[in-house]
Amino acid sequence: MPLADEAAHAIRTYLAHRVPSESRRLFVSARGGHPVHHRTIARMIRSVIGKAELQGRGISPHKFRHTFATQLIRRGVDVRTVQELLGHSSLQTTAKYLHSDMRTKTAAVEKLADILK
């Protein structure tokens, strides 16, 4: 999986302090080094959201994934590459993450502005 330099650095820093573990999973428990369950990560995110007083804004692990896909598309990444990054076997599954907002639609129409001159 390709990573931004900042993400790779953060992971290396985490791994230097992580409890020793035979697990191939990135996140492991502090006691025993067992893989952390996705519900535990969701609970941790809810806790951070609460501390930041951002409850009720629809922030969730799934929303992070959706935003990741949407921002890639907005920046011109092709849908097939997004599909591979998300690990979807079907392009139809990836399409569910994508939506066109007014900004995206306006930018698309503006690409034709030069032919109207």
Model confidence pLDDT, tens digit, residues 23-78: 999 999 988 889 999 899 889 999 999 999 999 999 988 889 888 998 898 888 99
Phi, psi of 33 (to 5 degrees): 65, 25
Whole-number pLDDT of residue 48: 95
Q: Which two tokens mark 108?
A: 């698309």
> How many Å apart are CA 73 and CA 100, to the nearest integer?
10
Asked if residue 14 is part of any domain, the answer here is no
Range of the domain at 95: 57-116
Least confident among 42-46, 88-92, 94-98, 109-113 = 94-98
Average pLDDT of the chain is 88
Residues linked to residue 35 through DSSP beta bridges, in sequence order: 28
Contact 35, 28 (CB under 8 A): yes
pLDDT higher for 113 or 116? 113
If one counts the domains in the chain, the total is 1
Q: Mean pLDDT, to the nearest integer, of 13-17?
A: 94
Asked if residue 71 is part of any domain, the answer here is yes
Asked if residue 90 is part of any domain, the answer here is yes
Asked if residue 86 is part of any domain, the answer here is yes
Contact 16, 8 (CB under 8 A): no
CA dihedral 35, 36, 37, 40 (to 10 degrees): 170
> How many Å apart are CA 27 and CA 45, to the nearest integer?
14
pLDDT over 70 at 101, yes or no: no
Asked if residue 22 is part of any domain, the answer here is no
- Residue 11 binned pLDDT confidence (cut-offs 50, 70, 90): very high
Q: Mean pLDDT, to the nearest integer, of 11-31?
A: 92
> How many Å apart are CA 30 and CA 44, to the nearest integer?
14
